[in-house]
């Protein structure tokens, strides 16, 4: 079980959960902007370009706010590249779209190259197939530095036999000549030392070529907005890397952009004691926060105590036996009809929702914790469920 990285309720401790329909994601634009300011500071001190990884957070209602602070987006394929250009990374504002896909589909490649500034290939053979000298955009190679830093093997792109990135020990001088960019993504919710170790490994093998790249993209997984992240050390590192290589340095965090900026509100539908005290919610871990089951991890609950008087197993509304958020302790008993909220759900939950079992999708609301304005930006209906099926 992975530990949750949520650092507390923050302003959500003051939010009245009954103000939104249930279920609902609520994003605090003030917290989001706070995170963006941390990233902007890193950009301005180091001349690094910072791109939002849309896979983590794609809430396009806040596209204009995000593009005020960041340089563009990292996309994982055609649809994210389209979303990026439409809402987050306008071409006429000089924003960047950098697309990486482990392999490209023949149907998509032309539009991807139209939309993107950088296209990153997972292997020399993908470049041979889709890239080449006729392509007008910049072409990069994703490498696997073979320096595993991940806590969990299945999430580590450096694990043995990984399909992500060309193994650094198989990179040759003639290969390098075909690319003007170098890309690596190996971290997950990590702080500065793993990045430092990873780059040491890369430079020990590829250092002799590093002045051949016009850009170096250090991927995502940097927990830059966590309060204990070593921002000063990162800044020093980024300045040195730029000076040493002469390359434009890019970072593409996802989670760090929306860290602690959103909650998932639900309602207690029933309580039953079968020897285990279950509270059944109108939420579903498998439909609304699949990482709870996939990672797995236990999300923090608003008001949860380490040692409370009342203990509940919070379970989802789907038929999946394992659709459980976890066991929680509270000082007050839960009531049927009561609202609850899981913390730190803006990233990797909203983008992963599904309608398995006909479970309704959560609405999406934008809240401003300073002036208390609240806007429901999206409601879903039966039509959304029906539209996805045939
Ligand atoms: C290539 C790439 N870039 C960026 C990211 C964003 O990572 P994070 O949201 O952990 O910062 C990911 C996440 O998997 C990724 O695969």
pLDDT at 161 over 70: yes
Per the domain annotation, does 41 fall within a domain? no
Domain closes at, from 198, 225, 258: 258
* pLDDT at residue number 185: 98
| Rg for the chain, CA atoms, rounded | 22
* Residue 269 belongs to domain spanning: 10-26+262-345+353-387
Per the domain annotation, does 318 fall within a domain? yes
* pLDDT at residue number 4: 67
Helix (H, G, I), strand (E, B) or coil at 138: strand
Judge if 16 and 131 occupy the same domain: no
pLDDT at 6 over 70: no
Per the domain annotation, does 290 fall within a domain? yes
The size of the chain, in residues, is 390
Tell me how far the alpha carbon of residue 253 lies from the centroid of ligand 1, in angstroms. Answer: 6
Per the domain annotation, does 36 fall within a domain? no
Tell me how far the alpha carbon of residue 221 lies from the centroid of ligand 1, in angstroms. Answer: 6
Judge if 287 and 170 occupy the same domain: no
Q: Which of 54, 56, 166 to mutate to test the pocket of ligand 1 (most atoms within 8 A of CB)?
A: 56
Judge if 93 and 173 occupy the same domain: yes
pLDDT over 70 for what percent of the chain? 98
CATH number of the domain at 315, please.
2.40.37.10
Task: Summarize pLDDT for 217-232 with one digit per residue, the tens.
Answer: 999 999 999 999 999 9
pTM over 0.95: yes
Judge if 193 and 230 occupy the same domain: yes
Q: Which atom of ligand 1 is nearest to the CA of 157?
A: 16
Residue with CA nearest ligand 1 atom 15: 220
Tell me how far the alpha carbon of residue 32 lies from the centroid of ligand 1, in angstroms. Answer: 18
Q: Which atom of ligand 1 is nearest to the CA of 76?
A: 1
Judge if 242 and 94 occupy the same domain: yes
pLDDT over 90 for what percent of the chain? 93
pLDDT at 5 over 70: no
Tell me how far the alpha carbon of residue 222 lies from the centroid of ligand 1, in angstroms. Answer: 9
Angle in degrees, 0-180, between the axes of helices 192-206 and 231-245, rounded to the nearest 10: 20
Judge if 252 and 108 occupy the same domain: yes
Judge if 64 and 185 occupy the same domain: yes
CB 267 within 8 A of CB 280: no
Which residues sit opposite 2 in a β-bridge? 297
Task: Summarize pLDDT for 97-151 with one digit per residue, the tens.
Answer: 999 999 999 999 999 999 999 999 999 999 999 998 888 899 999 999 999 998 8
pLDDT at 23 over 70: yes
Judge if 121 and 94 occupy the same domain: yes
* pLDDT at residue number 2: 64
Domain closes at, from 224, 240, 258: 258
Residue with CA nearest ligand 1 atom 16: 185
Q: Which atom of ligand 1 is nearest to the CA of 255?
A: 9
Q: Is the dihedral of CA 64, 69, 70, 72 positive or negative?
A: positive
Which residues sit opposite 75 in a β-bridge? 99
Per the domain annotation, does 34 fall within a domain? no
Which pLDDT band holds residue 316 (cuts at 50, 70, 90)? very high
Tell me how far the alpha carbon of residue 251 lies from the centroid of ligand 1, in angstroms. Answer: 10
Q: Give the span between the Cα atoms of 353 and 360, in whole angstroms.
A: 10
Q: Which of 39, 252, 255, 346 to mutate to test the pocket of ligand 1 (most atoms within 8 A of CB)?
A: 252
Distance set, CA 272 to CA 49, 313, 315, 329 (Å): 52, 10, 11, 16
User: Is the peptide bond prior to 146 cis by the omega test (within 30 degrees of 0)?
Assistant: no
CB 245 within 8 A of CB 237: no
Which pLDDT band holds residue 18 (cuts at 50, 70, 90)? very high
* pLDDT at residue number 102: 98
Q: Which of 5, 55, 348 to mutate to test the pocket of ligand 1 (most atoms within 8 A of CB)?
A: 55
Q: Give the span between the Cα atoms of 98 and 253, in whole angstroms.
A: 13
| Best CA proximity match to 96, nearest among 70, 122, 77 | 70
Q: Give the span between the Cα atoms of 49 and 39, in whole angstroms.
A: 10
Tell me how far the alpha carbon of residue 357 lies from the centroid of ligand 1, in angstroms. Answer: 29
How many domains does one find in the chain? 2
Q: Which atom of ligand 1 is nearest to the CA of 222?
A: 11
Judge if 219 and 186 occupy the same domain: yes
At 194, list the tokens: 């793993």
CB 386 within 8 A of CB 95: no
Q: Backbone phi, then psi, for 280, in 5-degree steps?
A: -95, 130
Q: Which atom of ligand 1 is nearest to the CA of 189?
A: 10
For the residues of 256-291, what is the DSSP string, one character each?
A: HHHTT-EEEEEEEEEEEESSSEEEEES--HHHH-TH
Q: Is the dihedral of CA 198, 202, 207, 213 positive or negative?
A: negative
Per the domain annotation, does 38 fall within a domain? no
Judge if 201 and 280 occupy the same domain: no
Tell me how far the alpha carbon of residue 373 lies from the centroid of ligand 1, in angstroms. Answer: 31
Q: Can you tell me the mean pLDDT for 155-184?
A: 95
Tell me which residues have their CB closer than 6 angstroms to ligand 1. Answer: 53, 55-56, 74, 100, 185, 188, 219-221, 252-256
Q: Give the span between the Cα atoms of 243 and 380, in whole angstroms.
A: 50
Judge if 115 and 211 occupy the same domain: yes
Task: Summarize pLDDT for 48-107 with one digit per residue, the tens.
Answer: 999 999 999 999 999 999 999 999 999 999 999 999 999 999 999 999 999 999 999 999
Is the pLDDT higher at 190 or at 308?
190
Per the domain annotation, does 31 fall within a domain? no
**Mean per-residue pLDDT over the chain, rounded:** 96
What angle is formed at CA 168 by the lines to CA 173 and CA 251, rounded to 5 degrees? 105
Per the domain annotation, does 152 fall within a domain? yes
CATH number of the domain at 132, please.
3.20.20.10
Tell me how far the alpha carbon of residue 252 lies from the centroid of ligand 1, in angstroms. Answer: 7
Which pLDDT band holds residue 21 (cuts at 50, 70, 90)? very high
Q: Is 2 exposed, middle or buried (0-12, 13-18, 19+ CB in 10 A)?
A: middle
Q: Give the span between the Cα atoms of 120 and 181, in whole angstroms.
A: 8
Q: Using a CB cutoff of 8 Å and minimum separation of 24, what contacts does 175-178 make?
A: 175/124, 175/141, 176/141, 176/206, 176/209, 176/212, 177/212, 178/124, 178/127, 178/131, 178/139, 178/141
Judge if 299 and 370 occupy the same domain: yes
Tell me how far the alpha carbon of residue 301 lies from the centroid of ligand 1, in angstroms. Answer: 25
Q: Which of 42, 53, 251 to mutate to test the pocket of ligand 1 (most atoms within 8 A of CB)?
A: 53
CB 118 within 8 A of CB 181: yes
Domain closes at, from 258, 292, 324: 258
């Amino acid at each position: 079980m992975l530990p949750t990285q949520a650092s507390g309720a923050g302003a959500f401790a003051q939010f009245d959960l009954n103000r939104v329909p249930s279920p609902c994601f609520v994003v605090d634009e003030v917290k989001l902007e706070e995170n963006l300011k941390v990233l902007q500071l890193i950009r301005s001190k180091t001349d690094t370009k910072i791109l939002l990884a849309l896979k983590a957070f794609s809430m396009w209602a806040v596209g204009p706010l995000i593009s005020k602070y960041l340089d563009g987006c990292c996309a994982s394929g055609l649809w994210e590249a389209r979303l990026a250009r439409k809402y987050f990374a306008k071409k006429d504002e000089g924003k960047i779209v950098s697309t990486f896909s482990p392999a490209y589909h023949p149907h998509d490649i032309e539009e991807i190259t139209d939309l993107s500034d950088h296209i990153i290939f997972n292997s020399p053979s993908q470049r041979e197939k889709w890239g080449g000298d006729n392509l007008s955009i910049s072409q990069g190679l994703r490498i696997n530095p073979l320096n595993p830093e991940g806590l969990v093997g299945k999430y580590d792109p450096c694990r043995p036999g990984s399909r992500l990135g060309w193994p650094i020990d198989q990179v040759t001088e003639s290969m390098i000549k075909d690319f003007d960019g170098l890309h690596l993504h190996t971290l997950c919710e990590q702080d500065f030392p793993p990045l430092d170790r990873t780059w040491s490994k890369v430079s020990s093998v590829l250092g002799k070529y590093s002045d051949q790249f016009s850009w170096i993209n250090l991927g995502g997984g940097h927990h830059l907005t966590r309060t204990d992240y070593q921002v000063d050390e990162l800044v020093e590192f980024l300045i040195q890397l730029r000076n040493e290589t002469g390359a434009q340095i890019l970072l593409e965090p996802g989670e760090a952009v929306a860290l602690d900026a959103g909650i998932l509100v639900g309602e207690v539908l029933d309580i039953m004691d079968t020897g285990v005290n279950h509270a059944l919610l109108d939420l579903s871990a498998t439909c609304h926060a699949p990482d709870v089951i996939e990672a797995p991890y236990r999300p923090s609950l608003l008001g949860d105590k380490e040692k409370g008087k009342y203990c509940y197993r919070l379970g989802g509304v789907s038929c999946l036996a394992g659709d459980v958020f976890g066991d929680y302790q509270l000082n007050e008993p839960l009531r049927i009809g009561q609202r609850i909220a899981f913390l730190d759900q803006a990233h990797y939950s909203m983008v992963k929702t599904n309608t398995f079992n006909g479970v309704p999708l959560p609405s999406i609301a934008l809240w401003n914790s300073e002036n208390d304005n609240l806007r429901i930006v999206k409601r879903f209906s039966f039509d959304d469920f029906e539209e996805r099926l045939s």
